[in-house]
Amino acid sequence: MLGIRPFIFVLVLTPIICSALLAETPGPVVVGYVFPQNGNVQPGQIDPHAMTRINYAFALIREGRMVTNAPGDAQNLAQLGALRKQNPSLAVLISVGGWLGSGPFSDVALTAQSRRTFIDSVIAFLKLYDLDGLDVDWEYPGQPGAGNRFRAEDKQNFTLLLGELRARFTEEFRSTHRRLFLTIAAGAFDDYLAQTEMAKVQRLVDSVNLMSYDYYEAGADALTGNHAPLFTDPDDPKKDSADSAVRAFEAAGVPPGKVILGVPFYGRMWGQVANVDHGLFQSGKAIPNSYAPYSAIRSTMLDHGFARFWDAASQVPYLYSEEKQIFVSYEDPQSLAVKCGYVRSHKLGGVMFWSYFNDSSEELLRTIDQSLLLKNRQPSQ
């Protein structure tokens, strides 16, 4: 019974505590993942006003406890935390898990004791690095993800884990009066909803960061396609889109204001693509470096042998090189502006992007400022 009490407690929080912990942030939020890939975040490299929340990726789980991943993590977290002096409204969260780091989640969530051990480590981690909360990136409950252990009971255990995390965050709020954010990175597909209890989960988290990208990926998909379509193209064999995912999550019980629409600051590439419909929905092969940051697309592909095309149905661009037979699906300022308009018109909570260092030109960040936040942004010096 001891392991269940925190979860029960979080469901009967007083209205005052609930409103303090789960109050909506005024206006749309901008959540950006900062992923240094074992590198160091340099002073002045991150604009403190570019985001509402920074999700630092990733912490890992070892022996049931949350730990840092790389030697530079402590320095990087301190560097990011210092940005709050320039922007006091900025929140810095740690994201735990990710595609390659989700293996231990099923074991962590399995019992009251394993959840308690993990949550104790989370609280200690947040205090040690002076952080504003936790982003749980479990890919995925009830599914193998990158060959991970999974169980049928992950569905209920995911809810229990988040409920007990919320309860502990509430205890911290009572003693410190400091709000701790709890968010999740959610798979934008039906099987994710089938393996989670989103109507319960959404009550426990501040936002659901919808990973509405990677619908097509070279290596996993023999056909090319829009990897982050806003709307469903009737010619798309998969019939996936961000819009259909948003509607599915809302139907599952997530309020629009808690849905954060994920957008990619990168593209996906295929090789050996025939020049039919400029390569869209055609056979293709995986090629080296098929993950292309937007900055690389902008500097080495646009006007460098690649023609840009627009899928009017999905409202996203793509590139094709007839000479190289390479197809590229990506996000650009036009498609991002349309998505920002979608967020505003559908009263969603905001946008989330992966990841900050993929946009060295800051062109996509300026688009978010202008189209979502309705303000002009000056390039960083």
73-83 pLDDT, tens digit per residue, is: 999 999 999 99
Alpha-helical segments (H) within 138-219: 154-176, 190-194, 198-204
pLDDT of residue 94: 99
- The domain locations on the chain are 5-264+332-371
Written as six digits, the tokens of 232 are 């469903």
Alpha-helical segments (H) within 93-212: 105-108, 112-128, 154-176, 190-194, 198-204
pLDDT digits (tens, 9 = 90+) for 246-301: 999 999 999 999 999 999 999 999 999 999 999 999 999 999 999 999 999 999 99
Residue 136 forms beta bridges with which residues? 96, 184
Written as six digits, the tokens of 258 are 């808690």
Q: What angle do CA 169, 102, 68 make, to 5 degrees?
A: 65
Which segments of 266-361 are extended strands (E)? 266-270, 291-293, 307-311, 316-321, 326-329, 350-354
Report the run of H or E that residue 136 belongs to, with start and end. Answer: strand 133-137
Residue 265 · residue 355 · CB < 8 Å: yes
pLDDT of residue 377: 63
Task: Please report which confidence band the pLDDT of residue 18 belongs to, taking 50, 70 and 90 as the band edges.
Answer: very low
User: How high is the mean pLDDT of the chain?
Assistant: 93
Q: Which of 168, 93, 76, 80 is nearest to 132 (CA)?
A: 93
Name the CATH topology of 5-264+332-371: TIM Barrel (3.20.20)
Rg (CA), the chain: 20
State yes or no: pLDDT of 9 exceeds 90.
no
pLDDT digits (tens, 9 = 90+) for 192-234: 999 999 999 999 999 999 999 999 999 999 999 999 999 999 9
Task: Please report which confidence band the pLDDT of residue 27 belongs to, taking 50, 70 and 90 as the band edges.
Answer: confident
Q: Please, what is the angle between helix 242-251 and helix 333-345, to 10°?
A: 20
pLDDT digits (tens, 9 = 90+) for 93-141: 999 999 999 999 999 999 999 999 999 999 999 999 999 999 999 999 9
Number of H helices, E strands in the chain: 12, 14
